Amino acid sequence: MIKKLLILIMASFVFAIPSIAMDDDNQRTDMENEPHQITITVVESTIHIKNASQMVLEVYNVAGIKVSTQRIDSQDKTIELNNLSKGCYLLKIGKIVRKVYLR
């Protein structure tokens, strides 16, 4: 299980794009390597995803356990993760992996 976590953390660094901007209330990540520039915005426990239509969002806890899977069925999708505890999670869309904090 620790090995899975280390692989996920390493993958987040390998696929990291330098375009990351954050403020107190939300986290925003723009992924420039994707064809239509996937955008993920996190505000408290709400995730807003743009330009990832027909892809799958996978959410992992810090132990590397998959806690949620959601199909992204439109270009502009909002997903509520109220059922998850506050804390740090890894989001994976396609080959993109990002670390976020749900409040």
For the stretch 32-73, pLDDT in tens is 444 568 899 999 999 999 999 999 999 999 999 999 999 999
99 sits in which H/E element: strand 96-102
Q: Global pTM?
A: 0.65
With beta carbons less than 8 A apart as the criterion, state whether 76 and 50 touch. yes
Tally of domains within the chain? 1
Confidence band of 95 (pLDDT split at 50, 70, 90): confident
Tell me the two tokens of residue 2. 């620790």
Sign of the CA dihedral with 85 first, then 24, 30, and 76 last: positive
- Residue 86's Cβ-count burial label (10 Å; 0-12, 13-18, 19+) is exposed
Confidence band of 92 (pLDDT split at 50, 70, 90): very high
Tell me the CATH number at 37.
2.60.40.3080
Range of the domain at 18: 2-102
Name the β-bridge partners of 56. Answer: 71
